[in-house]
Amino acid sequence: MRISDVMLKRNYTVGDTMWNCSPWALLPPVYSLFTAAGLWVVYFVAVNDEQIFPLSSQGSKVNGSRYPPYISVAGNFPPASCIFSEVMNLAAFVGLIIAVLRYLQLKHTTVKPWLNISCLVGFAIVCFGMTLVGNVQLFTDKKIHELGTLLTFGLGTLFCWVQSYITLKVDFRNEGRKVGISRFLLSGAVTACMIIRPILMVEDLHMHGARCQWALVMFFLAFIGTFAIDFRHSRFEMVCTDNIQTHSEMYRNELDQL
């Protein structure tokens, strides 16, 4: 059998209660929870191996033996680096799936096509940045690692703001206002962390900078988790059709018309 067409289609579910919601609504919060859990595992492994200070510590770098608990530093030394790479690769893969589903959900709404496509492409680049961060350790190649960090956080922050605007614009099931406000607040928190973190690093307040970075990542993951609110109204299906079968059906329909 020759497969001619594989496509995803989006339909709205009937019913507004959580009991009738789409199972796809579970994907964003599960993604956020498991990614956050994986990063905290990396942190605790690095602390246990005495590679970084705990976040509650007031210290900084001591004789090159311990470092401030930046996420990239925590994931720099084995065995934490192995876990970090796995977490970031899985986060990039599943994150791209969520971005594609969001694109499909908005495809037939009032959102301008170029804006929807830009969000998809932008988040795809964010996911690529995640793979750079996870697979190229900070102390191995700082330039490539920081490029991945810039792509992840920079475009990720822009993605949050655009999606917040889209939420208000589309207004799914008259929930756009309250959901949009919560997303704008999260976007503001992400942006504030993005601005404050480098300032703290320049002032050599690395412990505070590390805490700010952790807050930034948690706020961003919380933002992605809010897509569960929109996904619960939609059903996504993968449809596969056969060219041969399609042509035979068309032929039979033509004969019936004769």
For the record, the structure tokens of 117 come out as: 């496509």
Domain count, the chain: 1
Q: Is the predicted pLDDT of residue 111 greater than 60, yes or no?
A: yes
Domain assignment present for 193: yes
* Rounded Cα distance, 258 and 253, in Å: 9
Greatest CA separation for the chain: 89
The yes-or-no verdict on residue 107 having pLDDT over 60 is yes
Q: What single-letter amino acid sits at 176?
A: G
What is the enclosing helix (H) or strand (E) of 5? Answer: strand 3-12
Whether 5 is in a domain gets the answer no
Flag whether 173 is in a domain. Answer: yes
> What is the average per-residue pLDDT within 176-183?
90
As a whole number, mean pLDDT of residues 84-108 equals 95
DSSP 218-250: HHHHHHHHTHHHHHTTEEEEEEEEEHHHHHHHH
Is the pLDDT assigned to residue 128 strictly greater than 80? yes
Report the mean per-residue pLDDT for the chain. 86
Residue 79 structural domain: 23-232
Q: Which residues contact 175 (CB under 8 A, 6 or more apart)?
A: 229
Note the pLDDT of residue 60. 55
Domain membership flag for residue 41 = yes
So what's the pLDDT on residue 252? 63
In a domain, 100, yes or no: yes
The predicted structure's pLDDT at residue 24: 86
Reduced to 3 states, what is the DSSP secondary structure of residue 61?
A: coil
Query: Is 67 part of any domain?
Result: yes
pLDDT of the residue at 237: 76
Across 214-230, average pLDDT: 96
| pLDDT digits 0-9 by tens, 58-90 | 765 544 578 999 999 999 999 999 999 999 999
Instruction: Specify the pLDDT at position 8.
Output: 45
The answer to whether residue 238 is domain-embedded is no
Q: Is residue 250 one of the residues assigned to a domain?
A: no
pLDDT per position as a tens digit, 39-49: 999 999 999 99
Q: What is the pLDDT of residue 183?
A: 96
Whether residue 258 is predicted with pLDDT greater than 90 in this model: the reply is: no
101 pLDDT more than 90: yes
Confidence of residue 137 (pLDDT cuts 50, 70, 90): very high
